[in-house]
Amino acid sequence: MKRIMFPAFLIFCMSIFFTLDAVAKTELTYADFFPPTHKQSQLAASWCAEIQKRTNGEVVIKYYPGGTLAKGPQIYDGVVSGIADVGLTVLSYTAGRFPVATAIDLPMGYKNGTQATKVANAVLNKFQPKEFDDTQIMYLHAHGPGLLHTSSKKVVTLDDMKGLKIRGTGTSGSVVAALGGSPVGKPMNESYELLQKGVVDGALYPAESNKGWKLGEVVKYMTENYSTAYSLAFGVMMNKAKWNALSPEIQKTINEINAEWIVKHGEGWDEIDKAGMDFFKEKGGELVPQSAEESSKWQKAIAPVFDEYIKSAGEKGVDGKAIIDFIKANM
């Protein structure tokens, strides 16, 4: 009888051990629209790995890049509903939903991704926007200066913009309209085909996309409109219930990692902007300089974009001017 009971007892103990181990481990999913080869996708994957490492395997995150778990415009709602536990998306994909964060996207004349990312998180920390209350925001990051790229027509002056169909979403679409073009609001992952087939004449995007999204293969000109350069805010967020289920110690660890990855993302944007510029030139792309006089004209042309933001933000109870002033003071 003892010989029978001891193995049974051993099996019972082992089953308890493995049950407790399974309970202790939290497994999460992460949805991203960036292709797996993109620098920002690699940084998202390394964030997941770092969390697993520093929590000693208590939190394991399975990463789904390239829109395989949820498409870009559906990621935020997917995190809210629990389709994905963590997500990375462009906030402007859900236009009007984030009135505070939308100010980050305005054509402030951003110089680089490090600057834009710093500004984005400064806005998040300063204004603590309630628009994110249905998720737990990990951090924001933002790309380098969004410039005008065209496939067939060289854009030197404002007059050259008239009638051109330019891919742009959210605020970048408003910038296109203010400059005299016709905005086409399509996700980034559709841009290559749109340009290749001539559905659009160009697109507003940072230099990195010439390589990261291979757009340098289907555009010929890059207008250096740095004084009116916009950025786009990207949000990394976690499902609220999943975040609240984590221990305070693990939450603290993740927040520490978040602070480190903010810096990595900003520097990452700058690194790939350089690579994208090099790729654009290698493919025969031509830089189109902008004179000081023309630059001034473009700045005047986009003034209504700021006015419209202040108006629309005010309708949602947000002091848009205060946010714009804060951003300008922290650039």
**Average per-residue pLDDT in the chain?**
93
Whether the per-residue pLDDT at 19 is higher than 50: the answer is: no
pLDDT for 117 beyond 90: yes
Give the pLDDT of residue 11.
Answer: 52
Q: What is the DSSP letter of 152?
A: S
**CB atoms closer than 10 angstroms to residue 252:** 11
Fold topology of 146-230+276-329: D-Maltodextrin-Binding Protein; domain 2 (3.40.190)
Task: Please determine, for residue 75, whether its predicted confidence score (pLDDT) is greater than 70.
Answer: yes
Whether the predicted pLDDT of 3 surpasses 90 = no
pLDDT score for 24: 55
What is the rounded average pLDDT of the residues 102-125? 97
Q: Do domains 2-101+111-143+232-275 and 146-230+276-329 have the same CATH topology?
A: yes
Could you tell me the two tokens for 255?
A: 């927040």
Q: According to the model, what pLDDT value does residue 6 have?
A: 47
Confidence of residue 245 (pLDDT cuts 50, 70, 90): very high
30 CB neighbour count, 10 Å cutoff: 24
Query: Would you identify the CATH topology of the domain 2-101+111-143+232-275?
Result: D-Maltodextrin-Binding Protein; domain 2 (3.40.190)
More confident: 130 or 212: 130
* pLDDT score of 130: 96
In this structure, of 22-36, 94-108, 223-237, the range with the lowest mean pLDDT score is: 22-36
Q: What is the DSSP string of 264-280?
A: HHHHHHHHHHHHHHHHH
pLDDT (0 to 100) of residue 16? 46
Higher-pLDDT residue of 142, 189: 142
- The pLDDT value recorded for residue 42 is 97
Q: Where are the domains of the chain?
A: 2-101+111-143+232-275, 146-230+276-329
pLDDT (mean) for 64-89: 96
More confident call, 11 vs 252: 252
Which residue's structure tokens are 């099996």? 11
Whether the pLDDT of residue 306 is over 90: the answer is yes
Q: What is the sign of the dihedral through the CA atoms of 248, 119, 315 and 230?
A: negative
Q: How many percent of the chain have pLDDT more than 90?
A: 87
Query: What is the number of helices (H) and of strands (E) in the chain?
Result: 12, 11
CB 188 within 8 A of CB 90: yes
Residue holding tokens 């289920």? 245
